[in-house]
């Protein structure tokens, strides 16, 4: 529908979509799949992420994101093995690319906003910035951070289980090959044809499927986002506390 609208010049400014989030929890597999669907029709597709909860703390939490080309290629092939990621030199920081956002108003809008501006020197949003309570925001961020750490621990357990099975399979293969080679030496001594050293019907030669590293990359990205939010909000809270301490000392 968007492609047809652009062809008839009805809506030629569509560059992506808007999505709200809660406490910065937006880095999910569903977002990547939506990106993939949009980029099939819009080459320069971006997603505008808005966090109303964080904006209520006096910070305009608005981001414009897009997926990197290297990550899109891997996602189309669904090949997120460790070997492929090392080959492409792709880390968890190379999934999303943040695009700078510049917000500006026309002269007419600025004039109207000036006319509608309250006569009082301070507004409610100005008073909200002076609120010293940090418990709700910090508690939610720490709660989500702990959940992400638990999810990351579960992902690491999955990889440890895979590598244990891989080591066990390799040991079984070596033992089977050693036994087969010994048997072939006996057969050659008797003038018989040696048996093949690999048996595709043997279950120990069936390759194990390596778990995808996409989920662990997204969880790591989300953990980094929570840590950045906690660090930024804690810095602002310390500034407020030091300011109020100086005010009390002067009084």
Indicate whether 9 pLDDT > 70: no
Average pLDDT over residues 106-121: 79
Nearest CA-CA partner of 61 in 139, 146, 141: 141
Higher pLDDT, 174 or 246: 174
Distance of CA 77 to the CA centre of its chain: 18
Quick: pLDDT tens for 78-94: 778 877 888 878 888 88
Average pLDDT over residues 27-33: 85
Q: What percent of the chain has pLDDT over 90?
A: 4
Indicate whether 95 pLDDT > 70: yes
Report CA dihedral (68, 69, 72, 73) to the nearest 10 degrees: -150
Average pLDDT over residues 62-79: 83
pLDDT band for position 57 (cuts 50, 70, 90): low
Q: What percent of the chain has pLDDT over 70?
A: 84
Question: How far is residue 66's CA from residue 191's CA, in Å, rounded to a whole number?
Answer: 67
- Predicted confidence at residue 66, as pLDDT, reads 87
Quick: pLDDT tens for 233-248: 777 777 777 777 777 7
Q: What is the mean pLDDT of the chain?
A: 80
Quick: pLDDT tens for 118-159: 666 666 666 666 666 666 777 888 888 899 899 999 988 988
Higher pLDDT, 161 or 126: 161
- Predicted confidence at residue 36, as pLDDT, reads 81
Residues sharing a CB contact under 8 Å with residue 33, sequence separation 6 or more, in sequence order: none
Taking the complete model, does pTM exceed 0.75, yes or no? no
Question: How far is residue 206's CA from residue 200's CA, in Å, rounded to a whole number?
Answer: 7
- Predicted confidence at residue 125, as pLDDT, reads 61
Residues 209, 161: contact at Cβ < 8 Å?
no
Average pLDDT over residues 177-181: 86
Higher pLDDT, 54 or 158: 158
- Predicted confidence at residue 131, as pLDDT, reads 64
Give the chain as a 3 state SS string: CHHHHHHCCCCCCCCEEEEECCCCCCCCHHHHHHHHHHHCCCCCCEEEEECHHHHCCCCCCEEEEEECHHHHHHHHHCCCCHHHHHHHCCCHHHCEEEECCCCCCCHHHHHHHHHHCCCCCCCHHHHHCCCCCCHHHHHHHHHHHHHHHHHHHHHHHHHHHHHHHHHHHHHHHHHHHHHHHHHHHHHHHCCCCCCCCCCCCCHHHCCCCCCCCHHHHHHHHHHHHHHHHHHHHHHHHHHHHHHHHHHHHHC
Sign, CA torsion 77/85/40/43: negative
Q: Regarding beta strands 62-67 and 96-99, do their DSSP bridges make them parallel or antiparallel, or are they unpaired?
A: antiparallel
């Amino acid at each position: 529908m968007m492609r047809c609208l652009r062809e008839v010049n009805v809506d030629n400014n569509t560059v992506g979509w808007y999505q709200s989030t809660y406490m910065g929890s937006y880095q999910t597999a569903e977002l990547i799949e939506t990106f993939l669907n949009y980029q099939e029709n819009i080459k320069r597709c971006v997603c505008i992420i808005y966090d109303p909860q964080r904006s209520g703390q006096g910070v305009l939490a608005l981001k414009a994101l897009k997926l990197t080309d290297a990550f899109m290629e891997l996602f189309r092939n669904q090949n997120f093995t460790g070997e492929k990621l090392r080959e492409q030199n792709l880390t968890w920081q190379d999934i999303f690319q943040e695009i700078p956002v510049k917000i500006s108003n026309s002269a007419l809008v600025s004039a109207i906003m000036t006319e509608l501006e309250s006569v009082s020197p301070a507004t409610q949003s100005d008073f909200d910035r002076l609120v010293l309570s940090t418990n709700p925001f910090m508690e939610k961020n720490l709660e989500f951070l702990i959940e992400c750490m638990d999810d990351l621990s579960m992902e690491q357990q999955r990889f440890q289980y895979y590598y244990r099975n891989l080591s066990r399979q390799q040991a079984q293969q070596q033992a089977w090959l050693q036994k087969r080679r010994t048997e072939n030496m006996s057969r050659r001594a008797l003038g018989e044809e040696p048996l093949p050293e690999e048996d595709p019907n043997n279950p120990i030669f069936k390759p194990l499927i390596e778990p995808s590293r996409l989920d662990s990359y997204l969880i790591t990205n989300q953990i980094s986002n929570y840590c950045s939010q906690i660090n930024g909000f804690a810095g602002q809270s310390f500034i407020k506390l030091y300011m109020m301490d100086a005010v009390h000392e002067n009084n």
